[in-house]
Amino acid sequence: MAAIGQVLGVGAQIKLVAGLRWRILRNSLRKKNNRMDLLGLIISATLGSIFVLGMCFAFGAGAYNFLAGGQESWIALLFWAIFLFWQGFPIMVAGFGATFEFRTLLRFPLKLGAFYTISLAYGLADVGAIASICWLISMTVGATAARPALAPVMVLAAILFVLMNVTLERLVGSWLERLLAGRRTRELFYVLFVVAMISIQFIQPAVRRYGHTALPRIRHLSPYLAVFPGSLAGRMITGAARHHFNDVWIGVGGLLLYLGVFTGFLWLRYSAQYRGEELSESVAPARVAVRSTARTQVNGDALSLLSPKIATMLRKEFHYLTRNSFAALLLIIPPVMVVFFSSQFAGRHPSVSHHAVSTDLFFPGMMAYMIFILMSPAYNCFAYEGRGIQSYFMAPVSFREILLGKNLMLVIVLALELILTIAVFNYWVGLPSTAVFIATIMAATFVVAGQLSVANWSSLSFPRKLQFGQMRGQRQSGMAVLITFGMQILLAGISAPVMFMGRWTGNSWLPAEAFAFLAAAAIGGYFASLHALTELAEKKKESLIEALCR
Amino acid sequence: MGDTAILTEQLTRRFGGLTAVDNVNLRVTAGQFFGFLGPNGAGKSTTIKMLTGLLSASSGRVELLGLDLAKDPVEVKRQIGVVPEGMGLFERLTGAEYLDFVGRMYGLDRPTTQKRSEELLEFMQLADRPKSMIADYSHGMQKKLALAAAVIHGPRILFLDEPFEGVDALAAGALKALLARMTERGVTIFLTSHVMEIVERLCSHVAIIHRGRLVAQGSLDELRAGITGPEGSKTTLEQIFLSIVGQSGGESSHVEELTWLL
């Protein structure tokens, strides 16, 4: 029988994990044959480093100035900033981060204590933690330069702050991992993330409008923040600077209490993981009684006007739309952005300039923006099919019907969005002149029909699999993105001069007539392209299946 | 000899410099339960993909039920059912929605589709999760659903790529009985599996592919006749398979080199 290997020490195991992470990073770079990806990584790493170094200077200078200028209590703000960054940054990048799953280490002969220690070491190697530690070091240097006697307290506060933060970050991370293991939670998290990102757009208008009234209320809440880690660390420094040593002990005690509580909870979480916690995608639902008789009642088919196969495709696309949080979210964004842009540039009280943009210009512009956003997924319309793409090739169905079903769903969604946006527009800004309104609708028809053929071709030629409700690694094919931009620039280049023709010639109905002609030609071209696209689908089926079944 | 259900002539598929399937000539009679065997990477799935229109052949011809697959793919596909390697499910549909989609795509009317869908879900023991998406099904449940989808339109040929992988013994037993009944009714079943016992129990005829080439084809008795097994006992399919493929496979011959483990 073969000899069993010795269990490694914690230090050696940490070294192994560090080596593993480095190899994962190195191999992921080697795998990316696209040089633009590597270039992007280098640029973002350089910019990130500049940001961290710049902030180091800001934190160091801030600590120096607060302590040298007798404003010791303000140093709590710096601790708060680091605390929020340290805890917030990993959550922000949770979906985009490295693909290494720490808990996979549990396969190996690790003791719980070693697992815990490696986890903390792993947490200290995160980008957010490294940046935060750099800033704390800068603060310590700044504080020591201003008041050398404070150096021991500052070092103690920084050490406690680092330990508390890294423990809390690992605790939040382990809970996040547990929550995101479920598909529904992951999708909900994704929706919340995107909604939060959109909401950021409205901070400036909200502050402008409600800032004066909200400030006193925020100040009223500030004493309650004293019990949180940022304020406690600040209290240690302020207390030492003012020789109020009780404050120092309260700060130390508070941070130690936090550290103890977080350590306890993290230990419990890791103990559960260590025992073999199941983080499966789905939880088995409670068994319900099996129906004894088959339900055969069939409702009338609302889609009976369509061919059965197109109607079936349409129904399937509808199910997929309702179950794709990202696609569903994409439908909310355009009307929201209409409200946002309207408040900035149009209406009676635009916030960017004193003069509102003319509705006759703003309406077509907003419609174009909306169509370009909503049409983008059409350039990779099989992205979410996954292995289901094989069903299209196994079934006795022509790809013409599949494309018609998919495109029809998109057109219905677009029409509904247009109606919704026009209603929002009418309420917020008011409608343009009838001639411009009709011209815009005709232009929309032209732009949509004009894009559909090319989008179908792009979907068949440059497919890229995307996962529902996931952010990590979700990227369209580079060619599809290029084609999307190219088509949108081309169509905008055609549409803008046509739209302005009315002004130049003095005939306000000329753009509507021209767009009606272009729309008819584009629709004709679309139907003519379906046969060629069906043949293309047959030629491309292997690459399509390979790309989507990965 | 009955009607030919599956016929391939010089079927070949190349991937760059690699010939995955090399001049394969198959003939499967209607109503046969046909097992298609081979070691990993031998070309089984590539062959099944070419037979079902999921992959184009580099050269050669496929004829199913007398129809040329290349010339009349829609009519051929209407008469066959497939459980492909990756199952081909739309994971964001429920089981019932997926069966409804497949049934309608195969030209069944809505009441028939719905009735068959309910009966199949009951039979496959999937009816108690009507609102669960396929993404939330276990692997075995997905396999059963893929099987249900493959038979919903009453195909005349059924292609099954590892159909029992991950399916529990209870459901597998019911499925085997169903498939056996289907062949009695004249349905041709073309099955690939790594589990020799399943193939031996279900299939009347077998073909073995190795390194892209068909190395044996015939009824089990015909294949047994060419092999000398242990004296006094009936030669098993596994012994037949190993005697044809194993000699050149070489996996077992290197075992003695792992001295540190042994």
pLDDT tens for residues A117-136? 888 888 888 888 999 999 99
Closest-approach residue (CA) in chain B for A391 = B88
Out of B54, B93, B261, closest to residue A2 by CB: B261
Q: What is the pLDDT of residue A191?
A: 73
Region label for A461, one of left (φ > 0), alpha (ψ between -120 and 50) or beta (otherwise): alpha
Out of B54, B97, B132, closest to residue A285 by CB: B132
Among the ranges given (A249-253, A315-319, B72-76, B111-115), the one the predictor scored with the smallest mean pLDDT: B72-76
A183 versus A289: the higher-pLDDT residue is A183
Q: Is the alpha carbon torsion for A151, A157, A159, A162 positive or negative?
A: negative
Nearest to A497 by CA among A481, A518, A483: A518
Beta carbons of A393 and B135 less than 8 Å apart: no
Q: Environment class of residue A127 by beta-carbon count within 10 Å: exposed (0-12), middle (13-18) or buried (19+)?
A: middle
| CA distance linking residue B180 with residue B187, whole number of Å | 9
Q: Which phi and psi (to 5°) does residue A293 adopt?
A: -120, 150
Q: What is the pLDDT of residue A282?
A: 44
Out of A289, A315, A395, closest to residue B106 by CB: A395
Computed on alpha carbons and rounded to an integer, the radius of gyration of chain B in Å comes to 19
A122 versus A265: the higher-pLDDT residue is A265
Beta carbons of B54 and A390 less than 8 Å apart: yes
Q: Which phi and psi (to 5°) does residue A433 adopt?
A: -65, 160
A490 versus A506: the higher-pLDDT residue is A490
Beta carbons of A391 and B106 less than 8 Å apart: no
pLDDT tens for residues A335-352? 777 777 777 666 555 555
Beta carbons of A294 and B91 less than 8 Å apart: no
Beta carbons of A549 and B82 less than 8 Å apart: no
The contact set of A with B (CB < 8 A) is 2, 183, 281-282, 285, 287-291, 294-296, 298, 301, 308-309, 311-312, 315-316, 319-320, 323-324, 384-391, 393-398, 468, 541-542, 545, 549
Q: What is the pLDDT of residue A347?
A: 59
Q: What is the pLDDT of residue A517?
A: 94
DSSP letter assigned to residue A2 = P
- The alpha-carbon gap from A182 to the nearest alpha carbon of chain B, in Å, equals 10
pLDDT tens for residues A513-531? 999 999 999 999 999 999 9
Nearest to A306 by CA among A407, A416, A375: A407
CB atoms closer than 10 angstroms to residue A147: 19
Q: What is the pLDDT of residue A297?
A: 47
- Pinpoint the alpha helices (H) of A181-244: 183-200, 203-221, 229-241
Beta carbons of B136 and A282 less than 8 Å apart: yes
Q: What is the pLDDT of residue A111?
A: 76
- The alpha-carbon gap from B162 to the nearest alpha carbon of chain A, in Å, equals 16
| CA distance linking residue B250 with residue B255, whole number of Å | 10
* pLDDT class of A279 with cuts at 50, 70, 90: low
| ipTM value greater than 0.85 | no
- The alpha-carbon gap from A93 to the nearest alpha carbon of chain B, in Å, equals 25
Closest-approach residue (CA) in chain A for B94 = A319
Out of A294, A385, A398, closest to residue B122 by CB: A294
Alpha carbon B31 to its chain's center: 14
Cβ neighbours of residue A246 closer than 8 Å, sequence gap 6 or more: A239
Residue numbers in B near A385 (CB within 8 A): 90
- The alpha-carbon gap from A465 to the nearest alpha carbon of chain B, in Å, equals 13
**Are A408 and A310 in contact, with CB atoms under 8 Å apart?**
yes
Q: What is the pLDDT of residue A113?
A: 83
- Give the up-direction half-sphere exposure of residue A71: CA atoms within 13 A in the CB hemisphere: 11
Nearest to A537 by CA among A342, A430, A403: A403
| CA distance linking residue B212 with residue B45, whole number of Å | 11
pLDDT tens for residues A406-434? 999 999 989 988 888 888 888 877 888 89
A278 versus B58: the higher-pLDDT residue is B58
Please identify which residue in the block is written with the tokens 């290349």: B70
- A29-48 mean pLDDT: 66
Pairing of strands B80-83, B18-24: unpaired
| CA distance linking residue A168 with residue A360, whole number of Å | 54
Beta carbons of B82 and A394 less than 8 Å apart: yes
Residue numbers in A near B129 (CB within 8 A): 285
CA distances from A405 to A56, A171, A345, B90, B132 (A): 56, 47, 38, 16, 25
Site from B101, B105, B134 to mutate, A interface, most A CB atoms within 10 angstroms: B105
Write out chain B's pLDDT in tens, 262 residues: 558 999 999 999 998 888 999 999 999 999 999 999 998 888 998 999 899 888 888 999 999 999 998 888 888 888 999 998 888 888 888 899 999 888 888 888 889 999 999 999 998 888 887 778 888 888 888 988 999 999 999 999 999 988 888 788 887 888 888 888 889 889 999 999 888 888 888 899 999 999 999 999 999 888 888 776 666 667 888 888 888 887 654 555 567 778 787 7
Out of B53, B102, B110, closest to residue A393 by CB: B53
Closest-approach residue (CA) in chain A for B92 = A320
DSSP-assigned letters across all residues of chain B: ---EEEEEEEEEEEETTEEEEEEE--EEETT-EEEEE--TTSSHHHHHHHHTTSS--SEEEEEETTEETTT-HHHHHHTEEEE-TTTT--TTSBHHHHHHHHHHHTT--HHHHHHHHHHHHHHTT-TT-TT-BGGGS-HHHHHHHHHHHHHTT--SEEEEESTTTT--HHHHHHHHHHHHHHHHTT-EEEEE-S-HHHHHHH-SEEEEEETTEEEEEEEHHHHHHT---STTSPPPHHHHHIIIIIHHH-TGGGGGG-TTT-
Closest-approach residue (CA) in chain A for B51 = A394
Token pair, residue A507, equals 């005939």
pLDDT tens for residues A79-112? 999 999 999 888 776 554 444 566 666 666 677 8
Q: Does residue A58 carry a pLDDT above 90?
A: yes
**Are B54 and B47 in contact, with CB atoms under 8 Å apart?**
no
Instruction: Please provide the average confidence, as pLDDT, over all residues in chain A.
Output: 81
Q: What is the pLDDT of residue B247?
A: 60
Alpha carbon B201 to its chain's center: 15
- The alpha-carbon gap from A377 to the nearest alpha carbon of chain B, in Å, equals 18
Give the number of A-B residue pairs with CB atoms closer than 8 Å. Answer: 119
Nearest to A267 by CA among A382, A157, A185, A170: A170
**CA-based angle B195:B197:B200, to the nearest 5?**
115
Q: What is the pLDDT of residue A440?
A: 93
- A229-248 mean pLDDT: 92
b/e code B63-76 from CB counts within 10 Å (16+ = b): bbbeeebeeebeeb
Q: What is the pLDDT of residue A261?
A: 96
Token pair, residue B166, equals 């991950």
Q: Which helix (H) or strand (E) holds A9?
A: none
* pLDDT class of A296 with cuts at 50, 70, 90: very low
Q: What is the pLDDT of residue A404?
A: 94
pTM: 0.68
Residue numbers in A near B105 (CB within 8 A): 309, 312, 391, 395-397
Among the ranges given (A91-105, A469-483, A492-506, B175-189), the one the predictor scored with the smallest mean pLDDT: A91-105
A108 versus A2: the higher-pLDDT residue is A108
